[in-house]
Amino acid sequence: MRLRRIIEVGLPRLLAWCLLGFLFVPILVVIPVALTDRDYLSLPQDGISMEHFAALTDWSKGWLPSMLTSAGIALACAAIATALGVAFAVGAWAAGGWWPSLMRILLLSPMIVPPIIYAVGMVKLWARLSLLDSYTGVVLVHVVLALPLTVLAIGASLSNLDQRLVQAARSLGARPMTVFGKVILPNIVPGVAAGALLAFVASWDEITVTLFITGRAVVTLPRRIWTSIQDAVDPALAAIATVLLVVTVLALVARALIERRQRQRKF
């Protein structure tokens, strides 16, 4: 009986923990590496050092400027992709019929087409429009890549919304813009927020297409990391990975806490 219990309950549980460990432990390795006292990628040998974290804040080393560049591009991309996503999703939801489905397939195509193919195409196009290595060029490309994510997130939110709310609002005298601002938007805030976050993250760690269309002028964080891997294996890489890891974990914890509070308020 005991053996059977171990096989039925214990084994699957062990397997699950192994899987989680396999997913997470390699990520955690960056933390000790970031604290190494050597100037190459290694585990600390004669004690720990904060010098690689200090290097991140040194403007001349280029980490900080590229972080700001990435943040700026990601914010612009999130804003534009969310606005376009809301406009399309709400329009498609309200109109119905065959054309929104067709448009949706078109919009989702960046998710289906391999980024490398897309990158080659964009290099040709941006070269002709002289948008290569420009902020506008990078933001536009990131918007196209983020649009499927915002459309999906906002569309999911809308699919739970009763279409008759629009008719109700109109029968009460609301014009289309009022219907949008006072009825539709307040009801899809979670979807809009999720879409904006996804767009931000998609832009923040986009590398494939960015590598092709940027040079010296626009250096995003992923690009900076890429370059540093190529010429020297700098432990600052591990330091920046640690910072990103901590920020991500904090964001996830904050989200869980907010959701918990909202759920408690509901009941």
Partner 1 sequence: MALLVIDDLEKTYDKVTALTGIDLSVEAGEFVTLLGPSGSGKTTLLMSLAGFTTPSKGTIRLDGKDITHVDPEDRNFGFVFQGYALFPHLSVANNIAFSLRVRKWEKPKIAARVAEMLSLVGLDNLAERKPRELSGGQQQRVAIARALAFGPRILLLDEPLSALDRMLRESMQKELKRLHRETGVTFVYVTHDQEEAIAMSDRIAVFNHGRIVEIGLPRDLYKKPSTRFVAGFLGENNFLSGHRADDDETMVEAFGTRFGSAPVKGRRERPGDTLTVWVRPEDIRIGQATDDEIGFRATVVENSFVGALERILLKTATGEQMVATLRSEAAVAAVPGQVIDCRIDPSAIGVLPNETRGS
C-beta of 164 vs 216, nearer to partner 1: 164
Which x/- pattern over 158-177 shows residues binding partner 1 (rule: CB under 8 A)? ----x-xx-xxxxxxxxx--
Whole-number Å distance between alpha carbons of 37 and 49: 5
Span 206-265, contacts to partner 1 by CB under 8 A: none
Nearer CB in complex with partner 1: 114/173: 173
Distance CA(151)–CA(137), nearest Å, equals 21
Cα–Cα distance between 99 and 104 in angstroms, integer?
9
CB of 86 or CB of 147, closer to partner 1: 86
Which residue, 26 or 186, is less far from partner 1 as judged by CB? 186
Grouping H, G, I as helix, E, B as strand and the rest as coil, residue 44 is: coil
C-alpha closest to that of 190 among 160, 210, 234, 165: 160
The site for partner 1, by CB under 8 A, has a size of: 17
CA angle 223, 225, 228 (to 5 degrees): 110
Q: Which of 49, 134, 187, 227 binds partner 1 (CB under 8 A)?
A: 187
Least Å from the CB of residue 91 to partner 1: 18
The only residue of 114, 130, 186, 216 in contact with partner 1, by rule CB under 8 A: 186
Q: How far is the CB of 97 from partner 1 (least distance, A)?
A: 13
CA distances to 46, 73, 77, 122, 216 from 140, rounded to whole Å, are: 48, 10, 7, 10, 18
Map the footprint of partner 1 across residues 106-165, applying CB under 8 A: 162, 164-165
Measured CA to CA, the distance from residue 102 to residue 26 in angstroms comes to 42
Kindly tell me which of 163 and 208 has the beta carbon lying closer to partner 1. 163
Shortest distance (Å) from residue 262 CB to partner 1: 13
Distance CA 203, CA 143 (A): 8
Cβ proximity to partner 1: between 121 and 176 the closer is 176
Task: Specify the stretch interacting with partner 1 by CB under 8 A; choose among 43-51, 87-95, 178-186, 227-235.
Answer: 178-186
> Which is it for the CA torsion 19, 24, 26, 28, positive or negative?
negative
On the 0-12 / 13-18 / 19+ scale of CB atoms within 10 A, 226 is middle
Q: What is the DSSP letter of 161?
A: S
CB of residue 100 to partner 1, shortest distance in Å:
19
Residue-by-residue DSSP string for 166-214:
HHHHHHTT--HHHIIIIIIHHHSHHHHHHHHHHHHHHHHT--HHHHHH-
Instruction: For the CB of residue 103, give the shortest distance to partner 1 in the complex, in Å.
Output: 23
Nearer to partner 1, 114 or 186 (CB): 186
- Interface of this chain with partner 1, residues 15 to 54, rule: CB under 8 A: none
Residues that bind partner 1 (CB under 8 A): 162, 164-165, 167-175, 178, 182-183, 186-187
